[in-house]
Amino acid sequence: MADHIKNKVVIITGASSGMGKTAAKHLATLGATVVLGARRADKIEKLAKDIQNAGGKALAVAADVTKLDQVKHLVDTTVQQFGRVDVIINNAGIMPLSPMDRLNVEEWNSMIDVNIKGVLNGIAAVLPYMMEQKFGQIINTSSVAGHKIFNGSAVYSATKFAVRALTEGLRMEVKPYNIRTTIVCPGAVKTELLEHISEADIQRANQDYVAEVGISPDSFARVVAFAISQPEDVDINEVIFRPTAQEL
Q: Is 209 a catalytic residue?
A: no
Contact of 51 with 24, CB cutoff 8 Å? yes
Contact of 222 with 5, CB cutoff 8 Å? no
Count the Cβ atoms, other than its own, within 10 Å of residue 117. 19
Q: 239: which DSSP letter?
A: E
Q: Which of these is catalytic: 129, 156, 177, 209?
A: 156
The phi-psi region of residue 28 (left if phi > 0; otherwise alpha if psi is between -120 and 50; otherwise beta) is alpha
Identity of the amino acid at 46: K
Give the 3-state secondary structure of 176-234.
Answer: HHCEEEEEEEECCECCHHHHHCCCHHHHHHHHHHHHHHCECCHHHHHHHHHHHHCCCCC
Give the active site residues: 156
